[in-house]
Amino acid sequence: MNEAILILQREHRGISAVLLGLKHLAEMAQSERIKPEFQVFRSMLRYIDEYPEKLHHPKEDEHLFVRLVRRAPQAKALVDALQAEHVEGAKRIRELERKLMFFEEGGRAGAREFLQAVDAYADFHWMHMRKEETELLPLAEKHLIADDWRAIERAFAANRDPIADIEERDFQKLFTRIANLAPAPVGLGEPWKKGPARTQPFGE
Ligand SMILES: [Fe+2]
Ligand SMILES: [Fe+2]
């Protein structure tokens, strides 16, 4: 398998790991006795928002998708749908951020709504990545020629200019930070405090 496909799949695994962690912690936070560390949720949302936006989608939209449609016009409907999902995903993250604020301010109802929104987002994003891996990447492997792959790999490497490289490292740092902050079994951070069942919003 070529390097470009491996890079995209590796990036999917990273996004997937954070989504899985986010789902798990949102479920944990449903307990009335748990006091969640909201910073972990904020860092996770930042990761699943900015990593695709800044590093992952540009590789797909500007390099892989464009070349695929040129070689295989029949892929256009699929590419259009995937690009529309990139835009839709960004909107859904804004919604998740609003739900997180409501959760932090509002307590019980907010916790439930946040979990529902996280589940819906994770399903949406997993479906998107699955579609890319099971429909788009096989089409690309079938129709793109060696010259295309060389150009795509060059473009991905050029993406690692000094600025992009800083971003890549920033995201690795953010990923490590999430792993250090999140409690087990998601990460290595301190367990979230337990107390009497809360009746007031957080911080009161
Ligand atoms: Fe995508
Ligand atoms: Fe992707």
Expressed in angstroms and rounded, the spacing between residue 113 Cα and the centre of ligand 2 is: 27
Q: What is the DSSP string of the chain?
A: --HHHHHHHHHHHHHHHHHHHHHHHHHHTTSTTEE--HHHHHHHHHHHHHHIIIIIHHIIIIIIIHHHHHH-GGGHHHHHHHHHHHHHHHHHHHHHHHHHHHHHHH-HHHHHHHHHHHHHHHHHHHHHHHHIIIIIHHHHHHH--HHHHHHHHHHHHHTTSHHHHHHHHHHHHHHHHHHHHSBTTTSSBPPPEE-SPP-S-TT-
Task: Determine the pLDDT at residue 137.
Answer: 97
Expressed in angstroms and rounded, the spacing between residue 150 Cα and the centre of ligand 2 is: 19
Q: Which ligand is nearest to the CA of 85?
A: 1
Residues with CB under 5 A from ligand 2 (ion): 132
Expressed in angstroms and rounded, the spacing between residue 179 Cα and the centre of ligand 2 is: 22
Q: What is the full per-residue pLDDT of the chain (204 aa) written as tens digits?
A: 689 999 999 999 999 999 999 999 999 999 888 889 999 999 999 999 998 988 899 899 999 999 999 999 999 999 999 999 999 999 999 999 999 999 999 867 899 999 999 999 999 999 999 999 999 999 999 999 999 999 999 888 877 767 777 788 888 888 898 888 889 988 888 888 887 776 666 655
